[in-house]
Chain A
């Protein structure tokens, strides 16, 4: 047996793969900072952890952004590194930039301790909700600072996910980004039971979706004898292989990806998890996970399955239509602000899928641009949601938002602007995003789909406008919520989102140029 396992003299010298550390620097910095964050948790006393973690996080984003900026100035096309596992091309760099900016905004909200005294995370998650100890810790001002390294790990997973050039790396990146999110969903300071329910639901459904992804990966490996996207693309060009393996594998793989992007019929987790998770985490998920998932969908579709697109195109048409319909119609019936934004995100996922199916350069650049605009708008919207509070925490029921403009004109104006951006009204980034995506889809001959998308946008606009009407033209309830004055962190996050939403609505040219700089490298 030994002679079989290790044949004598057969071991060649290993050729270590080339690693371009400079190209990977933003990713490595985020991963390294997450590890340092874990050490901070291990070795520092409890009161010191929060400030150190905040400083570490800010430094991380500064350095990662700096290296990313340096990277953008050279190497116009991009490269693959670590034996082709990562493809650091222009779309990947654009998505990295988007993820870092959105992640920074979300981290500011995570770090905030002014809106909710002590932060929106529980002081000790191990204490069972509803016990006397739990009531005692509600008054404590600490928070579980493990959230910082967890969020950084999730961010690193997302950055790997959008740059992964083979399915195996993509799968592990999927897990690296999901696992911390499952955890963070369950750490809310208020309404802990619903938060834990959200975490459990997300975990079970997410594990299920990962299994689909893995099954698809295995079948595709059987099809192409490789997990590299480029090899799969090459294999689809030939005719001597089993189509069953290809389409079964592709379908299962896509279920896993669409689940993460909360598209269409794979959306069931979205409203519950968005509602239950602490609002900063919801903002992080709503903005960054969407970007990461669609980044990966774009890469998989454009790199690996472009040649076989005429076989699956109409399946994704149907998925996009279902997603837009579910998001727009069920969104109308919602009475909770967070659930409403969740259904809005499902409708937006349908629009994004429209751009992803348009397998040309315009489709790529317009979807990237849409992701950028949608991320910032959602981030700021959840930031505003976290400000409207009553004694029980956030007042998310829509009836409580009645007459908000009379209590706080500024917050109502900001939220109205963000809702208009989500609806896609001109002078906001949402309009430009929708416009470029629909144009790219039309150019690909997806006219009927664009018509459906326009109808869905109109239906969705109804429930955004309903909230605006509610805020401006209703009498405030007697025991309505108060609007807290946010500290520097949340203010910065909301301002970032609003400014970018306005900027991309008025001057979209530079971002569109970045998004369309070059295609995928594989």
Chain B
């Protein structure tokens, strides 16, 4: 059962087990993709964007999951919230755009790129202030430890953690406003 397996993985992840947490996100990605592809059949690009947006949201909100609580409703509520948010944004921006935009976009999405979202995290990162960008870059992309990052940036350990946390939040907000 997905529920049981993912629940034990996220519980380990919340305790700080990086490998279990990555496994959790990986398996969740496949489930989310299937869930959203069915609902956004005509917008494959948006579907992958949304998968990533939901993953970032789940990561940023993982403290709202209590291990004794069933996982499926928690993930579903977040996915649903982000899907509705996207549809609302789209219907609003569709009203502003010339309908011809939709036709030009029709062939822009290639199947092979479907697992790639249109926004580039590296580019988004550059817009963040140093105190958020550097911790994310060292810890999240280069894989350095928090302690090492603190040494390299001259920031305190807690400042590094706060920088990662706030930076990912800011990243989620940028993804939301550009998607």
A and B interact: no
Q: Which residues of B contact A (CB under 8 A)?
A: none
Q: Which residues of A contact B (CB under 8 A)?
A: none
